[in-house]
Amino acid sequence: MIYNKEIETMNIPQMQELQLERLRDLVKRVYEKVPFYKKKFDELGVKPENIKTLSDISKLPFTTKDEMRETFPYGLLSTSLDNIVEIHTSSGTTGLPVVAGYTENDRTLWSEVMARCLAMAGADKSDTIQNAYGYGLFTGGLGVHHGAGSLGATIIPISSGNTEKQLQYMQDFKPTVLTCTPSYSLFMAEIARENGLDFRNFDLKAGIFGAEPWSDNMRVEIEKKLNLKAYDIYGLTEIIGPGVSCECEAQNGLHINEDFFYPEIINPETGEVLPEGEKGELVFTTLSREGTPLIRYRTRDITWLFRDNCSCGRTTIKMHRILGRNDDMLILKGVNVFPSQIENILMKIENTEPHYQIIIDRESSQLDNVELQVEVEESFFSDETKDMELIRKQIYKEMKQQLGIALNIKLVEPKSIARSMGKAKRVIDKRDLPKAGEI
């Protein structure tokens, strides 16, 4: 089923007309209402009336994640706080989180795009959706929740975790659609196996997985172990949350809800716009957002855009599954982490030195297993094991508090962390994920 047939099967010229109309409104609005953008536009000498065609968008400045942090918390709101009905923040932080504010219309928009995505994965009002994305400031849980509401499906708002209960609910409520991170789906499969449960006896037909990068190999594994069709969904808090794009039954690229989120691919070095089919950094302009509208937001995600005559009938532009990132951000257990954050936390712990290495593995448990190896320096070496255990626990606690994820802390001998060209290799990622270096 196509949720919004008019929009999702619109011909290209009509879509572009709609996008241009919305873009011009947006540019005018942010210029008038967001001082941050007025300043940026003025610096480039660009006025709202200079935007006459869609390709004129390249005259507009980019927005970066750092700028979003610098304007924390409400610097990018284009409307009074009175009109904001919901707030979300990005997972993980390098200092301050990124804040997204939603007006009533934004929430309606979000529900609409999420309903479209759920429908892309074959869901309709007759379905029961077990929503195992986390509820809270993270956009995953509530994004799906809003979308299911618009679709009229039955939602089980179980949130993430409590795996045995998840499996029990699958038997009791017989959900037909599962939404969670791809790694959590495999973890559930593992726990099911340990408890003698077989997904073939469940009613799940589709899983909509996102919030972390995954691969086609992982799709094969998930589909086999969970006995369902696995769909990739993409989104980010800055733009709206989940619902920016999603795979349809063809499982060949993600249809972008381009009437709301205008995509561009740029050369990350020069900022130059690249044609369809060329790989580069994905950039979005939120054509209709009211709370925190963004002009040319640099996602740092690498992919390419394409159009095909999709068998599903949708005409919206597609993006390929994310290929990697052009910065060193890691997504660990669904949380964004920069190695520099780990370094800063270590430096704040008395006497420890930032000689560390992060080893990420997904083999044994299907969840990210993250080991942080910290070199033992003379400054905090003690001849008593209890002192060393105390330091290990302190590092664990600080990491947990500040990053929001549990790392396994391992104390290692100095110099055991390989140094190359005087610079230590900080991250060893053994997960089967696309790597930036392969792009």
Partner 1 sequence: MKVKQISVFLENTTGRLAEVTKTIANAGINLRAISIADTADFGILRIIVDKPDKGMEVLKNAEFTAKLTEVIGIILDDEPGGLMKIMDIFNRNGVNIEYLYSSLINENGSVVIIFKVEDIDHGLEIVKKSGLEAISSF
Tell me whether residue 17 or residue 377 sits nearer to partner 1 (CB atom): 377
Q: In angstroms, what is the minimal distance from the CB of 416 to partner 1? A: 7
Tell me whether residue 7 or residue 376 sits nearer to partner 1 (CB atom): 376
Q: In angstroms, what is the minimal distance from the CB of 375 to partner 1? A: 8
Q: In angstroms, what is the minimal distance from the CB of 362 to partner 1? A: 21
Q: What is the CA radius of gyration of the chain?
A: 23
Distance of alpha carbon 43 from the chain centroid: 31
Q: In angstroms, what is the minimal distance from the CB of 389 to partner 1? A: 7
Tell me whether residue 33 or residue 410 sits nearer to partner 1 (CB atom): 410
CB 90 within 8 A of CB 101: no
Q: In angstroms, what is the minimal distance from the CB of 413 to partner 1? A: 5
Q: What is the DSSP letter of 94?
A: B
Q: In angstroms, what is the minimal distance from the CB of 415 to partner 1? A: 6
Residue 287 identity: L
Neighbours of 80 (CB within 10 A): 10
Q: What is the DSSP letter of 211?
A: S
Report the DSSP beta bridge partners of residue 63. 297
Structure-token pair, residue 1: 């089923």
Burial class (CB in 10 A: 0-12, 13-18, 19+), 98: buried
Element (H, E) at 122: none
- C-alpha pair distances (Å), 20 with each of 41, 56, 76, 236, 286: 18, 10, 22, 23, 12
Neighbours of 20 (CB within 10 A): 19
Tell me whether residue 411 or residue 428 sits nearer to partner 1 (CB atom): 411
Tell me whether residue 152 or residue 414 sits nearer to partner 1 (CB atom): 414
Tell me whether residue 249 or residue 361 sits nearer to partner 1 (CB atom): 361
The number of residues in the chain equals: 439
Tell me whether residue 86 or residue 361 sits nearer to partner 1 (CB atom): 361
Q: In angstroms, what is the minimal distance from the CB of 370 to partner 1? A: 15
Q: In angstroms, what is the minimal distance from the CB of 147 to partner 1? A: 45
CB 16 within 8 A of CB 276: no
Q: In angstroms, what is the minimal distance from the CB of 380 to partner 1? A: 10
Q: In angstroms, what is the minimal distance from the CB of 22 to partner 1? A: 56
Residues 6+ apart with CB under 8 A from 39: none
Tell me whether residue 108 or residue 408 sits nearer to partner 1 (CB atom): 408
- C-alpha pair distances (Å), 277 with each of 14, 232, 273, 280, 434: 22, 20, 12, 9, 18
Q: Return d(Cα 240, Cα 116) in angstroms, integer.
A: 14
Tell me whether residue 47 or residue 393 sits nearer to partner 1 (CB atom): 393
CB 321 within 8 A of CB 232: yes
Tell me whether residue 329 or residue 391 sits nearer to partner 1 (CB atom): 391
- The string over 39-63, giving b where at least 16 C-beta atoms fall within 10 Å of a residue's C-beta and e elsewhere, is ebbeeeebebeebeeeeebeebbbb
Tell me whether residue 388 or residue 427 sits nearer to partner 1 (CB atom): 388
Residue 305 identity: L
Which residue from 361, 371, 417 is spatially nearest to 392, judged by alpha carbons? 371
Q: In angstroms, what is the minimal distance from the CB of 378 to partner 1? A: 6
Beta strand 229-236 pairing with 128-131: unpaired
Half-sphere exposure for 148 (CA within 13 Å, toward CB):
23
State the residues that interact with partner 1 by CB under 8 A.
376-378, 381-385, 388-389, 410-416
